[in-house]
Amino acid sequence: MASVLVVGGGVIGLSIAYECRKRGFEVTVIESGQCGGQASGAAAGMLAPYSEITEDPDDFFRLCQKSLELYPDWVKEIMQSSNETFEYSRCGSLYAIYHEADLLSLESKQRWQREYGIESYLLSGDEAREREPLLSEDIYAALWCPEESHIYAPGYVLALIKACRNSGVNILDNAGEAELVNGENHQIKTDKGIIKGEHIVLATGAWSRNWEKELNCSIPVFPIRGQICAYKGPELRHIVFTSQGYLVGKENGTLIAGASEDIAGFDTSVTSHGINRLESWSQHVLPELQQERPFHKWAGLRPATQDGFPLIGKVAQKPTILIAAGHYRNGILLSPVTAVIIANEIEQLPQEVPIESFRPERFQFV
Ligand code: GLY
């Protein structure tokens, strides 16, 4: 049986490991620390490409749309394979605007969403408040996307770990920093020894740039910090987006407000500036929050790329090595589709979505 070695135990790496194992490969995951210990576990778990992507639809949008379509079956399968449940709420979203001047862009967004078969409805401020009574009276209009959903990211990570283990994936955590064995395209050196794989998948999130020298190719992935805070309630029926951030209620009673986008290297601390901004924005959207203070604040590092698209596919000069990184704001959402694409690449099967725009070689050194 051919073997796949996945470097990185976030949701992208674990999903790839699970999918490859399902297709009959021997799979090992190596993780420098704890699986899900970085952006994956810190995420608010939004599955909301229609609200997150404001520009025209492109290959990235289609990738997100495909992954959202895969989610219901994927969640069912991961729950079955892990014997775990985790929150998967198909509650829909409201993208709220507060000024008439923003209506045109909301209307044009709805137009192209319709062209792509996405269900969405433009609501007046009053109609939006009927759907979500806690919204401030200042709301002018909203776009309602019933298909958008969210999951509880820490629960998803735990289920993925269990699903991998139950299906026979070997997970080595606390393996320290991984490096390619000199001149080798099939061996990775870790604190736990040298691990071999006929195919090696690098799913190392914001740290993926570390492979540039060894692979002799450009991997322009860099960390963008997302600061988040959580309140105890109030309960929301939908995910609420504005141009400034999002609010999402979890079934455990917490209301998550996110998220900053700041450049702070690999620093995952929160700042009073970042959290204060979130607090005042949240109070504007939900006036009930004026009496509340967040009980929990944290940050994660999103892996951003130079052109905003992830890197998914083989390294041109070393086709036994694949990269799956740079998913930026959509790592949780894109985990199923990335797993399928990488497994198809390894098996040399046709892809169901165009992936040319995501090929790592687009950034070759010149
Ligand atoms: N997808 C939400 C975020 O990155 O903050």
pLDDT level of residue 150 (50, 70, 90 thresholds): very high
Asked whether residue 236 carries a pLDDT value surpassing 80, the answer given is: yes
Chain centroid to CA 253: 22
pLDDT value of residue 294: 97
The pLDDT score that the predictor gives to residue 364 is 78
Compute the average pLDDT of residues 22-42: 93
CB 204 within 8 A of CB 7: yes
pTM exceeding 0.85: yes
Distances (CA, A) of 314 to 66, 189, 199, 260, 311: 21, 20, 10, 32, 9
Give the residue among 96, 87, 95 at the shortest CA–CA distance from 150.
87
**Which residue minimizes the CA distance to atom 4 of ligand 1?**
329
Backbone angles phi, psi at 216, to 5 degrees: 55, 45
Map out the domains of the chain as residue ranges. Answer: 3-82+153-219+307-362, 89-147+222-305
Residue 365 binned pLDDT confidence (cut-offs 50, 70, 90): low
Count of helices and strands (H, E) across the chain: 10, 20
C-alpha to C-alpha distance for 88 and 98, rounded to whole angstroms: 29
Determine which of 80-94, 180-194, 240-254, 272-286 has the lowest per-residue pLDDT on average: 180-194
- Ligand 1 pocket, mutate which of 40, 329, 332 (most atoms under 8 A from CB): 329
User: Considering only CA atoms, which residue is closest to atom 2 of ligand 1?
Assistant: 329
Q: How many angstroms separate the alpha carbon of residue 235 from the centre of ligand 1?
A: 20
> Residue 191 C-alpha to ligand 1 middle, in angstroms?
32
pLDDT bin (cut points 50, 70, 90) of residue 135 is: very high
Whether the per-residue pLDDT at 353 is higher than 90: the answer is yes
Q: What is the pLDDT of residues 157-187, one digit of tens each?
A: 999 999 999 999 999 999 999 999 887 789 9
Whether 302 is in the pocket of ligand 1, judged by its Cβ within 6 Å, is yes
Q: What's the pLDDT tens digit per position in 111-129?
A: 988 888 899 999 999 999 9
pLDDT tens track for 51-75 = 987 667 889 999 999 999 999 999 9
pLDDT greater than 80 at residue 292: yes
Q: Which CATH superfamily is domain 3-82+153-219+307-362 in?
A: FAD/NAD(P)-binding domain (3.50.50.60)
Residue 115's pLDDT is 86
What is residue 317's predicted lDDT score, i.e. its pLDDT? 86
State the DSSP H helix or E strand holding residue 69, giving kind and residue range, or none if neither.
helix 59-82
Label residue 242 by pLDDT band (50, 70, 90): very high
Q: Supply the mean pLDDT for the chain.
A: 94
Enter the tokens of residue 243: 């141009």
Spacing, Cα 39 to ligand 1 middle (Å) = 10
89-102 mean pLDDT: 97
pLDDT, tens only, 3-15: 999 999 999 999 9
CA 48 to ligand 1 center in whole angstroms: 9
pLDDT band for position 332 (50/70/90)?
A: very high
* d(CA 331, ligand 1 centre) in Å: 9
CATH architecture for segment(s) 89-147+222-305: 2-Layer Sandwich (3.30)
Phi, psi of 82 (to 5 degrees): -95, -15
